[in-house]
Structure 1
Amino acid sequence: MRPRIIDDVIGQDLLLSQNSLLRSAISCSRIPSIILWGPPGTGKTSIARAIVTSANSQGSSSYRFVSLSAVSCGVKDVRDAVEDARKFKLKNSKRTVLFLDEVHRFNKSQQDSFLPVIEDGTIVFIGATTENPSFHLVTPLLSRCRVLTLSPLNPHHVQTILMRAVKDPDKGLSKSLGSLGVDVSEDAVEFLSTNCDGDARVALNALEISAATAAARVGGDGDLRLASVSLDDAKEALQSKHLAYDRAGEEHYNLISALHKSMRGSDANASIYWLVRMMEGGEQPLYIARRLVRFASEDVGLADPLALNQAVSCYQACHFLGMPECNVILAQCVAYLALAPKSISVYRAMGAAQKAVRESAGQNEGVPLHLRNAPTKLMKEVGYGKDYIYTPDNPTADQSFLPPSLQGYKFLDWPASKANNG
C-alpha cells in the first residue's frame, strides 16, 4: 500500500505543498540530498521512493533508487553501493538516489563515509531517521543535506489510508484474501485510526490481522463470500493502544520536559497526565523519581523545604515496591510538587555564584585570613584565623564572609522579592 507518487502521499500537506522544496525539486528533476525526520509510520520510506518515481515521470532525467538499512548494513555495503552508482552514472549518465533507513544507527565514522560522495555528486543521499538529527547525525552530514520534518499522522489521515487498503482491488485486503470480499465497519476503522498513535504501519498491520481473523470465520464456497471486520476484530488485532515511546529517544526527552514544565506551571492535572504517558510507555519509575528529586530543589526550593523530603521518600518507595505498585506514589509526589509554592532563588543563586567563580578576572581570590582555620602555631603566627569573631558569642557583630572583591554581593535573593516571583 505504499504510495507510488508524491500525490498519493497522505498526511504531509505542509511538506508536500505546491510551493515546497520537494515539489520544486521534483518539477525540475533535481533531487537534493535530504534527511527525512519523523515518527515511525509517517511515510519516510514511502516519500523517498515517491520522490524518485515522481521525478522520473517528469521525463527530463531519471534516477535509480537504491535502498539500504543501517540496521543490517555497514560501510562495505555503502562502498559497494557507491561504486555501483559511479559505474551506473558513467554508463548511463544517470544518478543514483541512495536511501539509508535508520541513518541514526550509523556511528560517526560510518556517517562520514557519505561525505565525499555527496560532495562530488556521485549519489543523491536520502536518509530517514526517527531520532533528532541534531543529536544523532554528524554536523558535516547535516551541512550537506536539508532536514525535512514529517508530522505525526492525524486520525483522519490514518482513516484515509485504511479505507484505501480496504477498497484497492490490486494491492488491498481483498487481494491478500483471495476470492473473499472484505467489509470493514466504521467503528473498526475509527478504533484503529485513533489508537495507533499516528503510525500508519501499526494501523495497516492491525487491519490485515483483523481481516484474516474475519476471513477465518467465513464458510461456504463461491465468489460472494464476504469477510466482515468488526470492532471486536480490530480490538483483538491491536490488543492495546499503541504508544510511541522510546526510553532513549526523542519522545523520552519530550515527555519528561512536558512533565517538568507542567509541574513548574502548577498544573497538577497536566502533570499527572504526562506522568501516566511516561509510565504507560514503559519508562523506569526510578528515572522519573530522580527527576522529581531534582525538581523539588530546583523549582520548589526554599518555598517548601519539605518537598525534598517528599521526593526522596518517593524515590525510596519506588525502589522498594517497583512497578506497578509504585505508580500511585509517583502520582502523589507529582501532584504535591505541582501544587507546592515555587521558588527558584537557590537555583538562581547557584547560577550567579558559578558565574562569579568562572568569570572572575585572573585567579579566584584566596580565602580571607580571618576565615581560615589555624590548627598549628605556625599558622596562627602567619595570621590564620586572626580577627575572626565567633558568631554565637557575638551575634550582632559586623563581619564579612566573602573575598574583598565580592563584598556586599548578593547571590541569594531570600526572602524572594515579589518582583521576580521567587
Structure 2
Amino acid sequence: MTLFDPPAPLAERLRPRTIAEVVGQTHLLGPGKPLTRVLASGRLGSLILWGPPGVGKTTLARLLAAEVGAHFIALSAVSAGVKDIREAVTEAERLRGRGTRTMLFLDEIHRFNKAQQDALLPHVESGLLTLVGATTENPSFEVNPALRSRARTLVLEALTPADLLALLHRALNDERGLPGVQAQPEALELLARIADGDARRALSTLEVASTLADPVTPDAVTEAFGRHLPSMDKGGEDFYNLISALHKSVRGSHPDAALYWLARMVAGGADPLYVARRVVRMASEDIGLADPQALRLCLAAKDAVEFLGSPEGDLSLAQAVVYLALAPKSNSVYTAWKAALSAVDGEQLAVPAHLRNAPTALMRSQGYGQGYAYYFDDPEGSFTQRYLPEGADLHLYRPQREGWEGRASERWRKLMALHGGDVPAAAEQLTEN
C-alpha cells in the first residue's frame, strides 16, 4: 500500500459481514422481530429504510441481499437517473433467466423526483426488482404513495451510546480496525456520547484521534471531533420538527426549552428571517390579546434581524422568544378567526340594509344606510341595531382570562348584554374563573 493507494476509511473497513455483527436495531433484528421473521421465511419484499445518518442503512441492505442470495445493485439517487434504472432492469432480466433475483439498493431515494420514482413502479410490482430504498427524510412526504404502497417502511433508530461504545471497542480489537491502538476509557465514553448516534462519525473521529495521541485521550477526541453543528435538513422533517418544538415550548411557557430549540435552528443554519416570521405568527396565535405588546415586540425583532443580520440579530430573536414564553396566553382571536372563516365558507348572507354603504342618492333611495344609528349621535340605538346578517346567530369571539384580555372580559360581557345577546355559558364560566 502506498501514499497513492490509501486504506479505506475505518467505517468502511469495519462494516459488519453478517447480520449477527450488526450493532443496534434490535427492534428489527432481535428474536421474533420483523426482519428476523422475514429472513427466516426467505421471502424478502421491497423495503424503505428510514433513519438518521450513520445507523447502517446501506450495510443492512447489503446483508439482506446476501442472506436471501440476491444480486445486489447499488445506486445513489444523487447521481443516478432513469437511464441507470433501465440498465439495472436489463441486468435483472438477464439474471432472472439464470434463476437469480436482483435487489436494487437506492440510497437517498427521496432525491428521486416523481417521474424517476414512477419508473421503478412496474419493475417493483412485477417482482423483477426487490427495491430497498434508504432515506433520512420522512417517506410520507418524500416517496410517492404508489411506491410506498409497494414497499414496507422500516424505521431505523439512532445508535445509543452503549451501541457506539461497543462499536468503538470492536474497532480497537478487530484486525480490520485499529489493532494496537490504545484509548482511555473516558475518551471512548466521551466519543460515544457526542457522536449523536452516528456510527460513521464515531469511527471517523476515533481514526483521526488515534493519529493525535497514543493512547487516545478525551482532548484528542475533542480535537478530532471538531465543532459539530446540530444536524438539520433546511427543507426536511428535522427543520419542521425544530420549528414545531420551538412553537410548542413558547406555547407551554418554557423559556429554557424555547431558547434551546431556537439555538438549534440558528446554529443549524436556518434563515433567521424565516424564524422571525414564525415568531411573529406565535405572537398572534398563542399570546394574542392576553398581551397585545407581544406582536409589536416580535415585529421589532423581525426588523432587527433584517437590519443587523446574523449573528447580531439573533439576540433580538432570543429576546422575543423569551418574552413570548413568559407572556400570558390566549388563542381566542385565533379560534375566533378560524370560526369566522368557517362561517363564511358556504352561503353568503346579505349585508343588512342599514349597514350598507350609501354614497349616492340612488342607493339611499333603495334603503341603503337607512335607519343606521351612528354611535356618537345615538349610543343606545347603536347597540340595539343588528350587525350580523339575518339568520346568522354567531358567537365567534370568547375572551380568555389571562393578561390584558382577562381584564377586558368584563367590558366584553357588558357589550354582549347591550347588543341584546346572551353571553355563551362556556365563555361566562371561562371569564369568571
The number of residues matched between the two structures is 392
Structure 1 counterpart SS, 2:181? strand
- 1:190-220 deviations in whole A, cap 9, x for unaligned? 2222112211111111111222334xxxxxx
Which of residues 27, 45, 59 in structure 2 aligns to 1:32? 45
Which of residues 66, 74, 83 in structure 1 aligns to 2:90? 83
In structure 1, the partner of 2:304 is: 317
Quickly say closer, same or farther: Cα 1:36–1:420, change in 2 above 3 A: farther
CA distance in 2, matches of 1:342, 1:263: 10
Which of residues 365, 375, 380 in structure 2 aligns to 1:396? 380
Which of residues 113, 118, 121 in structure 2 aligns to 1:112? 118
1:195/1:242 contact within 8 Å kept: no
In structure 2, the partner of 1:173 is: 178
Instruction: Using the TM superposition, give the Cα deviation of residue 243 of structure 1 relative to its aligned residue in structure 2, in angstroms.
Output: 2.2
In structure 2, the partner of 1:332 is: 319
Instruction: Using the TM superposition, give the Cα deviation of residue 345 of structure 1 relative to its aligned residue in structure 2, in angstroms.
Output: 0.5
1:41 aligns with 2:54: yes
| Pairing 1:151-170 to 2, within 5 Å after superposition | 151-169=157-175
In structure 2, the partner of 1:380 is: 364
Partner AA of 2:129 in structure 1: I
Partner AA of 1:105 in structure 2: R
CA distance in 2, matches of 1:274, 1:411: 34
In structure 2, the partner of 1:413 is: 398
1:88/1:95 contact within 8 Å kept: yes
- 1:389-411 deviations in whole A, cap 9, x for unaligned? 1122222221111111214x111
2:158/2:197 contact within 8 Å kept: yes
Which of residues 17, 25, 33 in structure 2 aligns to 1:4? 17
Which consecutive residues of structure 2, in runs of 5 or more, have no partner in the other structure?
A: 1-13, 402-426
- 1:50-69 deviations in whole A, cap 9, x for unaligned? 2222x24xxxxx21111110
In structure 1, the partner of 2:266 is: 279
1:197/1:243 contact within 8 Å kept: no
Structure 2 counterpart SS, 1:127? strand
Instruction: Using the TM superposition, give the Cα deviation of residue 420 of structure 1 relative to its aligned residue in structure 2, in angstroms.
Output: 5.9
Structure 2 counterpart SS, 1:342? coil
Instruction: Using the TM superposition, give the Cα deviation of residue 338 of structure 1 relative to its aligned residue in structure 2, in angstroms.
Output: 0.6
- 1:117-176 deviations in whole A, cap 9, x for unaligned? 11111011100000011111110001001111111112121111122111111x2024xx
1:85/1:122 contact within 8 Å kept: yes
Structure 2 counterpart SS, 1:320? helix
CA distance in 2, matches of 1:348, 1:240: 44
CA distance in 2, matches of 1:195, 1:282: 20
Which consecutive residues of structure 1, in runs of 5 or more, have no partner in the other structure?
A: 57-61, 175-180, 215-226
Which of residues 60, 65, 75 in structure 2 aligns to 1:52? 65
- 1:273-313 deviations in whole A, cap 9, x for unaligned? 11112222222221221111000000000111111011111
Structure 2 counterpart SS, 1:99? strand
CA distance in 2, matches of 1:85, 1:242: 42
Quickly say closer, same or farther: Cα 1:255–1:64, change in 2 above 3 A: same
In structure 2, the partner of 1:223 is: none
CA distance in 2, matches of 1:42, 1:402: 60
CA distance in 1, matches of 2:358, 2:314: 53
Q: How large is the Cα RMSD of the aligned pairs?
A: 1.7
The worse-fitting range, judged by mean Cα deviation, of 202-211 and 97-106 is 202-211
Partner AA of 2:324 in structure 1: L
Q: Normalization by structure 2: what TM-score?
A: 0.87
Q: Normalization by structure 1: what TM-score?
A: 0.89
2:400/2:430 contact within 8 Å kept: no
The worse-fitting range, judged by mean Cα deviation, of 107-116 and 242-251 is 242-251
The worse-fitting range, judged by mean Cα deviation, of 230-239 and 340-349 is 230-239
Quickly say closer, same or farther: Cα 1:126–1:6, change in 2 above 3 A: same
